[in-house]
A and B are shown apart, each in its own frame.
Chain A
Amino acid sequence: MKTIRYALGALIVGAGMAQAQDTTLSYMSWDPEQLEIEQEAIAAFEAANPGVKIETSAMPPKDYWPRLSALAASGDLPDVFMMSSGFVKEWAAADNLADLSGVVSDDELANYYEGAASIGVIDGKRVAFPQNWVAPVLYYNIDMFEAAGVPLPTTDWTWDDFLSAAKALTIDENGDGTVDVWGMSLYGRYAHIEPWVFRNGGRYLNADETALELNDEAVNALKFLTDLVNVEGVAPQPQEMEGVRQQDIMPLGMAAMWVDGSWNIANTRSIVGDDFRWGIAQVPVGPDATDDNVAAYAWADMLAVGKDSDNTALAWAFIQHMVGEGRDASDFLGGKVPAYIDIATSEGWLESDKMPANKGLLLEIGAQNVYTGFSKNWSGWRGYDSTGSSGMNGELDEVLNGRKPLDEAIDAFVLYGNDVLSR
Chain B
Amino acid sequence: MRSSRKVRITALLFLAPTIIGLLVFRLVPIGWSFALSFYDWKIFDTPTFVGFGNYAHIFSSPTAYKVFLNSAYFSAIYVPGSIGLALVLAVLLNNGLRSSAFFRGAFFLPYITSTVAVTLAWRWIFSTKFGLLNNFLGWLGVDNAPAWLADPTWALPAVALVSIWKDVGFYMILLLAGLQTIDPTLYEAARVDGAKPIQRFFKVTVPLLTRSLFFVMILALVRSTQTFEITYALTNGGPNRASTTLAFYVYQNAFVEFEMGYAAALSYIMCFILGLFTLTNFYFRKRWVHDG
Contact = CB atoms under 8 A, between A and B. Distances in A.
Interface in B253-285: 254-259, 262
B244 A390 contact: yes
Q: Which bucket holds chain B's interface residue count?
A: 35 or more
Interface of A: 65-66, 68-70, 72-73, 90-91, 93-94, 96, 238-244, 377, 379-380, 384-390, 393-395, 397-398, 401, 403, 416, 419-420, 423
Nearest to A93: B45
Contacts of A69: 43-44, 255, 258
Contacts of B43: 69-70, 72-73
Given A242-B147, A394-B239, A387 B126 contact: no
A243 B240 contact: no
Contacts of B232: 386
B48 to A, nearest CB: 11
A123 to B, nearest CB: 16
Given A65-B255, A242-B149, A384-B256, A394 B44 contact: no
Nearest to B133: A243
Given A90-B42, A390-B244, A395-B240, A242 B256 contact: no
Given A242-B147, A243-B131, A385-B256, A390 B44 contact: no
Given A387-B252, A389-B238, A394-B240, A240 B147 contact: yes
Most A CB atoms within 10 A — which of B241, B256, B262? B256
A141 B255 CA distance: 38
Given A241-B129, A242-B148, A242-B149, A401 B42 contact: no
Contacts of B126: 242-243
A66 B256 CA distance: 8
Contacts of A395: 240
B241 A386 contact: no
B150 A386 contact: no
B240 A397 contact: yes
Interface string B46-90: 100000000001000101000000000000000000000000000
Contacts of A423: 40, 57, 259, 262
Contacts of B236: 386, 388-389
Interface of B, secondary structure class, is: loop
Contacts, number: 115
B226 to A, nearest CB: 15
Contacts of B149: 242-243
A419 B61 contact: yes
A239 to B, nearest CB: 4
Q: Report whether over half of chain A's contact residues are helix, strand or loop; otherwise say mixed.
A: helix
23 contacts: A66-B255, A70-B43, A90-B45, A91-B44, A242-B127, A242-B148, A243-B149, A244-B127, A244-B130, A379-B257, A380-B257, A384-B256, A386-B255, A389-B240, A389-B241, A390-B63, A394-B241, A395-B240, A398-B240, A419-B61, A420-B257, A423-B40, A423-B259
Most buried by A among B61, B148, B151, B255: B255
A103 B131 CA distance: 56
B214 interface: no
Contacts of A73: 43-44
Give the 3 A-B CB pairs with smallest separation, nearest first.
A243-B127, A389-B238, A239-B150
Given A243-B129, A394-B239, A419-B61, A72 B257 contact: no
Contact of A377 (B130, B238, B244, B257): B257
Interface of B: 40, 42-46, 57, 61, 63, 123-124, 126-131, 147-152, 232, 235-241, 244, 248, 251-252, 254-259, 262
Given A243-B149, A377-B257, A386-B256, A68 B44 contact: yes
Contacts of B147: 239-240, 242
Looking at B42, B61, B129, which has the most chain A CB atoms within 10 Å of its CB?
B42
B44 A386 contact: no
B229 to A, nearest CB: 11
A242 B235 CA distance: 10
Most A Cβ at <10 Å: residue of B57, B232, B240, B262: B240
Nearest to B47: A73
A390 B128 CA distance: 21
B238 A394 contact: yes
A156 to B, nearest CB: 36
Nearest to A243: B127
A65 B63 CA distance: 24
Nearest to A376: B42
Nearest to B237: A389
Centre residue among A242, A388, A393, A395 by max chain B CB count within 10 A: A242
B262 to A, nearest CB: 7
B123 A243 contact: yes
A403 to B, nearest CB: 8
A395 B63 CA distance: 13
B70 to A, nearest CB: 12
Contacts of A420: 257
A238 B128 CA distance: 10
A141 B268 CA distance: 52
A386 B248 contact: yes
Contact of A390 (B130, B131, B240, B251): B240
Nearest to B248: A386
A130 to B, nearest CB: 21
Nearest to B134: A243
B124 A386 contact: no
A73 B40 CA distance: 14
Contacts of B40: 423
Contact of A386 (B129, B239, B251): B251
Nearest to B41: A73
Nearest to A397: B239
Nearest to A67: B255
B56 to A, nearest CB: 12
Contacts of B46: 94
Given A91-B44, A241-B128, A389-B238, A401 B150 contact: yes
A239 B155 CA distance: 11
B260 to A, nearest CB: 9
Contacts of A390: 63, 237-238, 240-241, 244, 252
A68 B42 CA distance: 12
